[in-house]
Amino acid sequence: MSFWNKNPSSAKQKIRTENVPVKASPGTISRAASRSQSEARLGSSLPRSKPLGQTSRSSRKDSYSTKLSLPERSTSRKRSPVYQRIESDTSEDEGQESPPVNKRQRLTPGELDDPTRTLPSRKQFSQIDSTLLIHSADIASHKLGYRAAFGDKDLEGAPVCLQYPGSSIAERYELVFKKDSFDPVEEILGVIKDFTDFFLDDENAKQFVDPDTGIIRRLERARNLGSLEGFKSALVDYNSAVESLRQGEDIATILDKKHSVSESLVVRIMAQTYDRAVSPKVDLLRKYENGTNEIYGELKSNLVYKILAETKITSKQVFVDLGSGVANVVLQAALQVGCESWGCEIMENACSIAEAQKAEFEARCRLWGLQPGLTRLERGDFMVNEEIRAALQRADVVLVNNEVFTPELNVSLVNLFLDLKEGCKIVSLKSFVPENRKISNYNNNDPSNILNVAKKAYSTKSVSWKDEGGNYYISTKDSTRLQLYGDRS
């Protein structure tokens, strides 16, 4: 079982027109009118709360007889205000306030630096085997039934490349579009904005964020007007600028001073990875047996981001996800925190997809020039897996999505927690301790008495099996609770 990601839909984007020599094609206007906003940065509730501008994907909402359901990798993801289109591209705007494209995102209070973390990848700027990547063009292309994003004049989807800060290898894209599906054009814009926000100082960012002549403004204008040549020209200039900054070590210098990854960038990388490695195979996750502990569901990245921040886990600590599904949370912890991150999953299809996602995740991190924490995925029953039991003895944070676990399994988990070290935090969707429970002579032998529980709330659209908000629990192992009771009795 696992939980992760998906972002709320947002309102449809506005269509803009501009009085310039370029004429927008009818196909492009249709595309813009039908496309909903991309998702926000990690929304972690935070992020995605998600400020990141992720791309939309087709809706796969499914209902089951159980409480959990497959993740809706659908509906467009909303994005933060920095990604919203400006009101108009017409000359009528002259004299009005410039669009806020030059306002760059900063770390929020929840994105605390870990001074012990080394952020740049040890393989930064080294050559990457292009075949290790799942390119955008591999999942969204003219051959796969997408249509040209810039009108019928481009029948082959306009192949382009996108440069990243951590490698000379560029990703292949086709500028195509399909309603309610992955949107390459929107992802390109989101990648460029995240790059500018995180990897550049104010001086180097000017050529990208200038509200009139910046590369981002040129790309947005070309997109809104359906100008294929304008979009490709701005993208060529972007790639050239990134390569120049990379070769001049400007990017490396900035990264050396950072010790944490912004929420927006975490969401961006996780969304890119999921779109390429998981979404095409998501139907395989439907194969499970109702009424058992083997039911699939995901915590969305906004909730994951919030949980990791609240537990205050650091890069020198250990995270374990019991029932890790396709490894969304395991990988996000490794990226967001930089910690050693373990997962164990019993469903074979989920395990296979998790391995594929891990490979794509590692290649993506190298593209971005970032060093995630060590990740380890185990197959099988986490109650008996020896590697997981050993990792639990070192764990600082344990996640278990026990939303539909049987009472028997929850009791077995409490007994398993006896081996955890003092102070270890256990995050669960159901409490292992009855609410308002007090230690007494009647229950003083109950192993759950070692847990000090804090009840937390999550917002709407934080889990895949329902839109409503709910509660989760952070239990801290504290054996002194029993000692204090013994001293009083």
Instruction: Give 114-123 pLDDT, tens digit per residue.
Output: 899 989 886 6
Same domain, 251 and 271: no
The residue among 286 and 40 whose pLDDT is bigger is 286
The C-alpha angle 422, 320, 402, rounded to 5 degrees, equals 95
Question: What's the pLDDT at 152?
Answer: 66
- Is position 76 within any domain? yes
- Total structural domains within the chain: 2
Question: What's the pLDDT at 331?
Answer: 99
Same domain, 318 and 209: no
- Is position 13 within any domain? no
Look at residues 256, 287, 308 and tell me which one is the last residue of a structural domain.
Answer: 256
Region of poorest pLDDT, from 179-193, 283-297, 423-437: 283-297
Mind listing the pLDDT tens digit for each residue in 367-413? 999 999 999 999 999 999 999 999 999 999 999 999 889 999 999 99
Q: Are 320 and 398 in contact (CB under 8 A)?
A: yes
Mind listing the pLDDT tens digit for each residue in 247-263? 988 898 999 999 999 99
Look at residues 200, 227, 256 and tell me which one is the last residue of a structural domain.
Answer: 256
- Which has the closest alpha carbon to 264: 40, 5, 4? 40
- Which has the closest alpha carbon to 313: 388, 462, 394, 425? 425
Q: Are 132 and 166 in contact (CB under 8 A)?
A: no
Same domain, 371 and 300: yes
Q: Give the other-Cβ count within 10 Å of 284's Cβ.
A: 15
- pTM for the model: 0.79
Same domain, 188 and 321: no
Q: Are 304 and 311 in contact (CB under 8 A)?
A: no
Is residue 124's pLDDT more than 80?
no
Same domain, 75 and 175: yes
Q: What is the mean pLDDT of residues 281-299?
A: 74
CA dist 111 and 170 (Å) reads 29
- Is position 1 within any domain? no
Q: Are 396 and 424 in contact (CB under 8 A)?
A: yes
Mind listing the pLDDT tens digit for each residue in 318-330? 999 999 999 999 9
Question: What's the pLDDT at 290?
Answer: 54
Question: What's the pLDDT at 482?
Answer: 66
- Is position 7 within any domain? no
Is residue 83's pLDDT more than 80?
no
Give the domain extent around 143: 26-256
CA dist 164 and 187 (Å) reads 13
Question: What's the pLDDT at 484?
Answer: 62
- Is position 199 within any domain? yes
Question: Which residues make beta-bridge pairs with 342?
Answer: 320, 376
Is residue 80's pLDDT more than 70?
no
- Is position 10 within any domain? no
Categorize the per-residue pLDDT at 2 as very low, low, confident or very high, splitting at 50, 70 and 90.
very low
Taken in order 137, 140, 146, 151, the sign of the CA dihedral is negative
- Is position 419 within any domain? yes
CA dist 346 and 335 (Å) reads 24
Same domain, 416 and 293: yes
Mean pLDDT score of the chain, rounded to an integer? 79
Question: Token pair for residue 376?
Answer: 């380890």
Same domain, 306 and 203: no
CATH code for position 409: 3.40.50.150
Same domain, 82 and 178: yes
Question: Token pair for residue 242?
Answer: 């990134």
Mind listing the pLDDT tens digit for each residue in 158-175? 899 999 999 989 999 999
Cα 467 from chain centre: 18
- Is position 423 within any domain? yes
Categorize the per-residue pLDDT at 23 as very low, low, confident or very high, splitting at 50, 70 and 90.
very low
Mind listing the pLDDT tens digit for each residue in 28-77? 434 444 433 333 333 333 333 333 334 443 333 333 233 344 544 443 33
Is residue 178's pLDDT more than 90?
yes
Same domain, 62 and 183: yes
CATH code for position 64: 1.10.260
Is residue 223's pLDDT more than 90?
yes
Question: What's the pLDDT at 158?
Answer: 84
Q: Are 131 and 223 in contact (CB under 8 A)?
A: no
Look at residues 256, 274, 301 and tell me which one is the last residue of a structural domain.
Answer: 256
Same domain, 415 and 377: yes
Same domain, 332 and 476: yes
Same domain, 439 and 464: yes
